[in-house]
Structure 1
Amino acid sequence: MTKKQNKNRLAIHMAIALVCGLVTGSLFLMLRENLLAGGNADLWATINKILFQDISAEGATDAIGIFYILGQLFLNSMQLVIVPMVFTSIALAMCRISDTKTLGRLSYKTIAGFLATSFFALILAGVVGLFANKLGVFNVSIDNITAQTGTTGSNPLLILVKAIPNNIASVFTTNGSILSIVFLAVITGLSINHLGDQISILKKLLEDVNKIITVFLTFLITKFGPFAIFVLLTRTFAIYGVEHLKPALAYVITVIVTLLVFLTVGYALFILIATRLNPMPFVKKIGKVAMFGFSTSSSAATLPLNTKTTTEELGVNEEVASFILPLGMTINMNGTAIMQVIAAIFIASSAGYDVTFGSISLIAILALIASIGTPAAPGAGAVILFTVLSGMGYQNDAALLAYSLILAINRPVEMLVTALNVVGDSATAVVVAKSENCLNEEAYFQEIK
């Protein structure tokens, strides 16, 4: 079987897994609601313990959680190599770019691309949020929800301070310090580049580690990716109750529509305007990356497939992709920023705060800064949202109740947010590669048969 047929086969399997996961999860969701409404809560509790229960949760010592275990095994396998993958790929990208002017130009264009898409994403979110607020869509009654304080509020600018670590060992032992990993990788790669032939063993070691990671992740995605999509989607929808959905239906619909508009139209326009290329090949080929990001709700877990698709199918030079995509996974969070802006406006409106053009502008700035420091892991965006709320002073009891509601129902929204984030990284890579005359347009336009 050819490589092209393998790509097509993987995309088809992922699409099938996506549909099967949505259908099966929805059936379990309906079963849950029917059992609870019919007074058979014990039966659902048994089913949940066997199939879906988070066995790490307090009081779950007797649970089996088959779907939880299978999903976590896959996600853990993907996240196992996040730190070495990001470090080696960016360091090697720095090594391979011998011209410092090219490196500087590449960095400038990448950041400009990220900021351009983020700017328009935030404008869209602000306009939609303001419009929804003016219509009274977000004026809802939130009852019977236990308030929680979330994370400790902090100054969003601390993200910039923490980007340069004071302890190398601590950075390499956690997936939550990716921005620091990027910094270390950049200075390591630039130093190796400057020293040239004086450094050979370390460069060869980085190349060997990168090859091992590539082989491991390719095997994991092609053999277990579709199955993991089915398991993760089924469990997400099966444990997702509707008891909190009604008071937040306006928020959910508003943010999902906004995300879908930017995902389907925004990036296509970005490709068209910035490269003058037909965006349809990009839309068709990036679909499976969006599906994988949607299913795993993790930008980090999606990075290997995104890299493979961007280089092999969209024709982006490997050096450009290995620099932009890991960096984008860290700081290019358009979907997260959109979600946080609309969520903050929803919370402010529900809690009785005045929502003005000025406050929305400040929310957008805080959301942009906070999203840069959002870990590329499931559910992180809703947790970091508390930083935005703290910065705005939205911390009365009603705001905490509304925030608790967001945490309770935000997982499906976060799944779409991740799809938006990863597609944005690839779109920027295509634009930058085109501007640097290192985009293989034959591969870009080539149909996957």
Structure 2
Amino acid sequence: MKAWFAIDLWKRVLLGLVIGGLIGLGLRYGFGPERGGEIATAWFKPFGDAFINLIRMLVVPLIFTTLVSGVLAMGDPKRLGSLGGRALLLYMCTTVVAICFGLLMGTIVQPGAGFDLAIVAESDLAEARDRLAANPAPGSVGEQIVRTLLSIIPVNPIEAMARGDVLAVIFFAIMIGVAILVAKEAGEPVARVMNSAADVMMRLTVIIMEVAPFGVLALMAWVLGTRGLVILEVLGKMTLAHYAACTLHMLITYGFIVKGILRLPLIPFIRGVADPQAVAFSTSSSNATLPVTISAATKNLGIRKPVASSVLPLGATINMDGTALYQGLIALFAAQALGIQMTLDMYITIILMASLVSIGTAGIPSVSLFLAATTLSVVGVSPENIVVIIAVLFPFDRILDMMRTVTNVTGDMAVATAVAKWEGELDEDVFRAPHKV
């Protein structure tokens, strides 16, 4: 057992990914797609779901306690303006760049050119209609902005926590932290409770992360057991464009932030983000990965509590670079498949709409696909064809969503590193350490 725990977590998670993937492929191609999928769903999916539930269980209490504790660690509420402003600006900039990478790769690879939309099954069409009805499009630009702003302030904080409304929880936690600071001596007992609670939640995160390799193994066995590698046959060019765009965005954009702007070595950053990347790839959920992200940011990258506990929860909610990139790519895929001629105005509108749609998107699997209805309408796709496009992509979206989530989480950590550096809250000795815990 000691030898097992001596291995870095990301390596254990990667091992779980590989073994789970091999098991899933063995089931699918050994027993056949139908029987293999049934076995994977019956024997592995419950364990994967249990793992996701464990880390989702942490999200709201972890965000609330660590964010309150982070505000208290600042000592001065005025620092929130500087810290939050820098984080928001960087998040918005990286989102726009991500969309541009998606549009660039979509233009180069042409994933929708010559694609036969007639291959979609009637059952997939029915499911796409149901999912679109359950996830209505955000509407116009103005409606999206108003909806996002109103969702920030919770009418009932307890209810918001129960629903997992992360933006509302963040707002409430910040207000509580500020109130404790303003209360001074009267707020000290509450401050001690919140600091202790934050420490306990971080310890609980470490404990639960020890089962991550096994949860990841179960999830990968289920995904590949039910889906297999058929995506490479049906949507090979779309997969190539998506993975290439996300990879380039992470290497170039985040690499430029860390190496070019911050003047920090890139290799320690890449090692430091490996744990949350591995969990993000398997869970396809930014929110579910958040506990690991915060833990890795503090232990691996040396980002101190005031920044890690405020910038990262905010990023898990509004910084959806992978999601925004995918929105642009879906729009080009649809335009190419339907023979719609793109214009400069349409590209600009896609960038604007994809940025807005990505803000506040729930950090759970496949939600961004159904919100693409708004972006698709920008390029002139009819409601009937929107259903067809969604139905084509939905059966394979999980594998695409895995890479989107990796991009989202990596962006959160890159921005948090930048803000920590500018705010004097980055321990560079920890960041540059050759071995990551």
| TM-score, normalised via structure 1 length | 0.87
**CA apart distance, 1:401:** 0.9
**CA apart distance, 1:353:** 3.1
Are 1:289 and 2:266 matched, yes or no? no
Deviation string 1:78-134 (CA, Å, 9 cap, x unpaired) is 11121121122222222221234432211121112212222221222222223444x
Are 1:372 and 2:362 matched, yes or no? no
Give me the whole-angstrom Cα distance separating, in 1, the residues matched to 2:269 and 2:215: 25
Native 8 Å contact 1:333 1:421 kept in 2 = yes
- The answer for the alignment partner of 1:153 in structure 2 is 137
- The answer for the alignment partner of 2:56 in structure 1 is 79
SS in 2 for 1:99: coil
Alignment-mate amino acid for residue 136 of structure 2? T
Give me the whole-angstrom Cα distance separating, in 1, the residues matched to 2:109 and 2:279: 30
Are 1:300 and 2:287 matched, yes or no? yes
- The answer for the alignment partner of 2:25 in structure 1 is 26
1:166 to 155, 159, 162: 155
Give me the whole-angstrom Cα distance separating, in 2, the residues matched to 1:245 and 1:279: 32
Give me the whole-angstrom Cα distance separating, in 2, the residues matched to 1:25 and 1:289: 22
- The answer for the alignment partner of 1:56 in structure 2 is none
Return 5+ residue gaps in structure 2 as ranges. Answer: none
SS in 2 for 1:154: coil
SS in 1 for 2:44: helix
1:217 to 180, 194, 205: 205
Give structure 1 regions of 4+ aligned residues with deviation exceeding 4 angstroms.
5-8, 241-245, 390-393
1:186 to 158, 162, 174: 174
- The answer for the alignment partner of 2:238 in structure 1 is 251
Native 8 Å contact 2:17 2:282 kept in 1 = yes
Are 1:142 and 2:117 matched, yes or no? yes
Native 8 Å contact 2:112 2:336 kept in 1 = no
Query: Once the two structures are aligned, what percentage of the paired residues are identical?
Result: 24
Are 1:358 and 2:345 matched, yes or no? yes
1:446 to 422, 433, 436: 433
**CA apart distance, 1:154:** 2.9
2:65 to 78, 88, 91: 88
SS in 2 for 1:319: helix
SS in 1 for 2:223: helix
Give me the whole-angstrom Cα distance separating, in 2, the residues matched to 1:439 and 1:243: 44
Q: Higher relative contact order by CA 8 Å / sep ≥ 6: 1 or 2? A: 2
Native 8 Å contact 1:179 1:330 kept in 2 = yes
Give me the whole-angstrom Cα distance separating, in 1, the residues matched to 2:346 and 2:386: 16
- The answer for the alignment partner of 2:193 in structure 1 is 205
- The answer for the alignment partner of 2:9 in structure 1 is 10
Return 5+ residue gaps in structure 1 as ranges. Answer: 54-64
Give me the whole-angstrom Cα distance separating, in 2, the residues matched to 1:198 and 1:390: 54
Give me the whole-angstrom Cα distance separating, in 1, the residues matched to 2:181 and 2:391: 49
SS in 2 for 1:408: helix
Alignment-mate amino acid for residue 182 of structure 1? I
Native 8 Å contact 2:95 2:321 kept in 1 = yes
Alignment-mate amino acid for residue 300 of structure 1? N
Structure with more of its chain in helix, by fraction = 2
Native 8 Å contact 1:343 1:406 kept in 2 = no
Native 8 Å contact 1:140 1:247 kept in 2 = no
Are the structure 2 counterparts of residues 287 and 169 from structure 1 closer, same or farther at C-alpha, using a change threshold of 3 Å? closer
Matches within 5 A, 1:43-442: 44=35, 47-49=36-38, 51-53=39-41, 65-133=42-110, 137-145=112-120, 146=122, 147=125, 148-149=128-129, 150=132, 151-155=135-139, 156-157=144-145, 158-175=147-164, 177-222=165-210, 224-240=211-227, 246-390=233-377, 394-442=381-429
Alignment-mate amino acid for residue 95 of structure 2? S
Q: Which moved more, 1:18-27 or 1:280-289?
A: 18-27
Native 8 Å contact 2:112 2:335 kept in 1 = no
Give me the whole-angstrom Cα distance separating, in 1, the residues matched to 2:57 and 2:378: 33
Give me the whole-angstrom Cα distance separating, in 1, the residues matched to 2:216 and 2:327: 25
**CA apart distance, 1:200:** 3.1
**CA apart distance, 1:289:** 1.8
Give me the whole-angstrom Cα distance separating, in 1, the residues matched to 2:261 and 2:418: 6
Give me the whole-angstrom Cα distance separating, in 2, the residues matched to 1:392 and 1:97: 46
Native 8 Å contact 1:154 1:390 kept in 2 = no
Aligned Cα RMSD in Å? 2.4
Give me the whole-angstrom Cα distance separating, in 2, the residues matched to 1:351 and 1:396: 13
Are the structure 2 counterparts of residues 349 and 7 from structure 1 closer, same or farther at C-alpha, using a change threshold of 3 Å? farther
Are the structure 2 counterparts of residues 76 and 276 from structure 1 closer, same or farther at C-alpha, using a change threshold of 3 Å? same
